[in-house]
């Protein structure tokens, strides 16, 4: 016990000194979230990268290897009586979180894996999938992988299962024991082009990162993540380059989808777009380039048309924005005026625009989950105004009949949070786009 206290004291003095010595420019800013939900750039603390014209070398990412090595040695000695185990399992549809039970302890994780400290590797673990209301969706989940004292971060992205990586990638991983925040890097053709730092563990449930910048230049990319302590040293090695963390960007593409979070992907509140289960393109059977960006209004779609659409020169562009307009203070006529601007821009560049009616919202569910702003009282008026204009266009997809309940709300069985469609909703969108393409190809012959 005395030896342990001595080591702890040495550890504290060592890193207080190091913290005062090292520059503090990269300390993540503070935030107090009310939920584990990720929003666009909500988990972005700091961009550390140089410009794309001046990429860093991978070797430059670590400023003091000696400090990191010493720090890891001290951590290992202090924790010598404990073992870190990493468990992972398959995603359960509609699960918002997972409860891991062992030795009468209960831990909650929001992704399909967890790292925990144990004093005996023979522990028996029980994993349950829970919905938002803590109802059990699946009991005694099969643990597909168990690792002991892992040093390398385990990623959960599924880029290898996508026809195209999203324009705005989301990077995700299983959180690391003893990590306070994470360093995330994007590499192009082997050189670092972006370097980010996430929020701290106290500020957010850190298991994913929404890249705030588009990846719109052709090339071969992969991303990696490293766990960091609050004192600024690494507590893991970089994740490995794998098929699931790698992707290619190329142009032109035949089909692309332009929109907000409904296009971007993700669902059941906590599952990010880095996994295909809640991405509608998964159920389309046609290769669609995802140009969605979570949180966008139609004003923002207009603003990023040149930078985010034109580099891919799609023949057909599915335009799916509008929900962030009518659920805020943007009126229907303004949404329609932006639709018209987008249609004109498509015409100028020989792109066929296909407008998709925005999905409605469910105010009672939004009120229940609390972390999404309530829509204004007259949201349906502006929602219907936008849908009516879309139905008068030459090329459109009308989703309203399949998504609305008797009150005109987003159906309860299609959403967890009242805003984002879950699996069945994404299947409706994917199949509707697939059927439109099938009919278009018939007429095009």
Written as one string, the DSSP assignment of 97-152 is EEEEEETTEEEEESSSEEEEEES-TT---EEEEE-TT--EEESS----EEEES--B
Beta pairing, strands 181-188 & 191-198: antiparallel
pLDDT confidence bin for 92, thresholds 50/70/90: very high
**Residues in the chain, overall count:** 445
pLDDT higher than 90, residue 433: yes
pLDDT for 82: 82
Q: Is the pLDDT of residue 13 over 60?
A: no
| Domains in the chain, CATH or no CATH each | 251-444 (3.40.50.1110)
pLDDT at 122: 81
pLDDT at 70: 54
Quote the pLDDT of residue 232. 87
Most confidently modeled of 72-86, 201-215, 387-401? 387-401
| 443 pLDDT tier (thresholds 50, 70, 90) | confident
Say yes or no to pLDDT of 401 above 70: yes
Quote the CA–CA distance of 389 and 410 in Å, as a whole number: 20
Minimal CA–CA distance to 86: which of 112, 125, 128, 114?
114
302: pLDDT strictly greater than 60? yes
Q: Are strands 316-319 and 352-356 parallel, antiparallel or unpaired?
A: parallel
Identify the pLDDT of residue 193: 98
pTM of the model: 0.84
**pLDDT (mean) for 209-216:** 97
């Amino acid at each position: 016990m005395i030896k342990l206290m001595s080591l702890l004291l040495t550890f504290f003095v060592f890193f207080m000194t190091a913290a005062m010595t090292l520059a503090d420019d990269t300390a993540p800013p503070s935030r107090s979230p009310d939920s584990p939900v990720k929003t666009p750039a909500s988990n972005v603390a700091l961009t550390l990268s140089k410009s794309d014209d001046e990429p860093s070398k991978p070797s430059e990412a670590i400023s003091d290897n000696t400090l990191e090595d010493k720090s890891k040695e001290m951590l290992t000695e202090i924790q010598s009586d404990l073992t870190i185990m990493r468990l992972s399992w398959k995603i359960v549809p509609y699960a918002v979180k997972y409860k891991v039970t062992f030795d009468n302890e209960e831990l909650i994780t929001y992704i399909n894996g967890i790292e925990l400290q144990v004093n005996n590797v023979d522990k028996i673990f029980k994993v349950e999938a829970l919905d938002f209301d803590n109802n059990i969706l699946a009991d005694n989940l099969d643990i597909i992988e168990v690792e002991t004292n892992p040093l390398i971060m385990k990623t959960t992205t599924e880029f290898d299962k996508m026809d195209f990586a999203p324009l705005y990638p989301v990077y995700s991983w299983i959180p690391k024991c003893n990590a306070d925040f994470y360093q995330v890097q994007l590499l192009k053709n082997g050189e670092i082009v972006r370097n980010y730092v996430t929020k701290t563990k106290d500020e957010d449930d850190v298991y994913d990162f929404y890249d705030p910048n588009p990846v719109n230049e052709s090339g071969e990319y992969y991303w990696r993540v490293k766990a960091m302590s609050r004192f600024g040293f690494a507590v893991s090695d970089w994740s490995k380059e794998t098929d699931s963390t790698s992707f290619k960007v190329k142009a032109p593409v035949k089909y692309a989808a332009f929109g907000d979070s409904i296009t971007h992907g993700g669902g059941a509140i906590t599952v990010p777009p880095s996994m295909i289960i809640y991405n509608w393109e998964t159920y389309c059977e046609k290769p669609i380039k995802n140009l969605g960006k979570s949180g966008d209004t139609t004003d923002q779609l207009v603003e990023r048309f040149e930078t985010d659409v034109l580099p891919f020169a799609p023949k057909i562009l599915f335009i799916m924005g509008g929900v962030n307009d009518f659920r805020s203070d943007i009126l229907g006529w303004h949404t329609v005026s932006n639709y018209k601007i987008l249609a004109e821009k498509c015409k100028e560049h020989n792109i066929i625009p296909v407008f998709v009616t925005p999905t409605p919202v469910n105010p009672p569910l939004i009120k229940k989950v609390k972390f999404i702003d309530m829509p204004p009282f007259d949201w349906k008026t502006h929602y219907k105004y936008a849908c009516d204009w879309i139905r008068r266009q030459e090329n459109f997809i009308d989703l309203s009949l399949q998504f609305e309940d008797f009150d005109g709300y987003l159906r309860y069985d299609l959403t967890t949070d009242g805003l984002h469609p879950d699996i069945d909703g994404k299947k409706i969108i994917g199949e509707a786009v697939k059927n439109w393409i099938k009919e278009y190809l018939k007429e095009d012959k």
